[in-house]
Amino acid sequence: MSEYKLPRGIVISGTGLWTPPEAISNEELVEAYNAHAELYNREHAAEIEAGELAAKPPSSADFIEKASGIRSRYVVTREGILDPERMRPYLPERDDDELCLQAEMGVKAAKLALEKAGKKPEDIDMVIVGASYLQRAYPAIAIEIQDALGIDGFAFDMEVACSSATFSLQRAVDAVSAGSARAVLVVNPELASPQIDYTDRDSHFIFGDVAVASVVERRESCAVDTAWEVLGTRAKTVFSNNIRSNFGYTARAADVDPFGPGKLFRQNGRKVFKEVCPMAAEHIEAHVREAGSEPGEVRRYWLHQANINMNNLIAKKLMGDDADTERAPIVLDRYANTGCAGSVIAFNLYSDDLQPGDRGVICSFGAGYSIGSLVLEKVAI
């Protein structure tokens, strides 16, 4: 990797978090899944008895919490998810001239970020939407959000699965650094619930819906008292099939069900844990040292929120016996895995208490594999 020194003076001046009004507990999710499993096993009893199909195993709230640390998740709607005969959310299709659901989520988070940063739409030149899933191919969700907010500039979507937020923040930093934008609005609307296979015991509990947004600009244009200066950005990708989502338009040409077996989210959890944890820890450690600090000196780590056991292991590698949830806060217990948004949720909720001079790291890791990080320092403006 060639060495590049990021110019000083680029800051994240505000973030916004929009949380859906509805939530589903582990207990509610398990009740629906187990009822569905009983229906499935009864309907396919003959095939299961003959060994042609595998019976669906039961789930439990204790299993979910032990395996992931998740206790609940927010969703844009509960309707349909808890119906044993449906097992997917019901989201009525909107007309083309209506704001799409993902853009609506993004606009709500964006307004909060702009307010916190003390910015108006006319202060923004560029909008990036980064998300694990995009509601459509085009027109870009980012352009729809740009239009809804009345921003005169340009916008685009990008998708790098769970690292979409950190990668889009890096693109924003690059744009401000290069002078192609005065300020950039980064929006991460994670509409994950339609992509979950709620009939699969090993993955039905993983994801939740949410939207976050961030404003990136130069320090001299910052309108708030404190902000987070970006000391460095780093990205890494390594191809892996261990986390995959095959849903796509080419299913039509292959004459297969686009929502059939293997087309929604799936992962080999054990391999992901074994391979991603050391990669992420090594990536963060090298990035922190590149920015002039030691991992143990970093005041806070806002890590990707996929699995509490992964976060605990990575935090332990970075901070040793000093690792705790105060220094590496957990939000997945109530938000679940929110795709790329988790680390930004943690940053939004657990950064205001830190003092100028304190350093922190936003880091994501996931499908790709992809790892993205930003080393930040709180500054007084």
Residue 74 DSSP code:
E
Residue 100 a catalytic site member: no
Which residues, other chains included, contact 251 with Cβ-Cβ below 8 Å and sequence gap of 6+? 257, 258, 260, 263
CA–CA separation, 267 and 289 (whole Å): 32
Residues 9 and 219 sit within 8 Å (Cβ to Cβ): yes
H helices, E strands: number in the chain? 10, 13
Return the half-sphere exposure (C-beta side, CA atoms, 13 A cut-off) of residue 233: 23
Query: 322-326: long-range contacts at Cβ-Cβ below 8 A with a sequence spacing of 24 or more?
Result: 322/296
CA–CA separation, 344 and 335 (whole Å): 12
Structure tokens at 184: 């950039």
CA–CA separation, 321 and 303 (whole Å): 18
DSSP-assigned states of every residue in 13-41: EEEEEE--SEEEEHHHHHHHHHHHHHHHH
CA–CA separation, 167 and 195 (whole Å): 22
Residue 35 exposed, middle or buried by CB count within 10 Å (0-12, 13-18, 19+):
middle
CA–CA separation, 205 and 72 (whole Å): 9
215 alpha carbon, distance to own chain's centre: 17
Which residues, other chains included, contact 202 with Cβ-Cβ below 8 Å and sequence gap of 6+? 269
Pairing of strands 266-267, 72-75: unpaired
- Which positions are annotated as active-site residues? 162
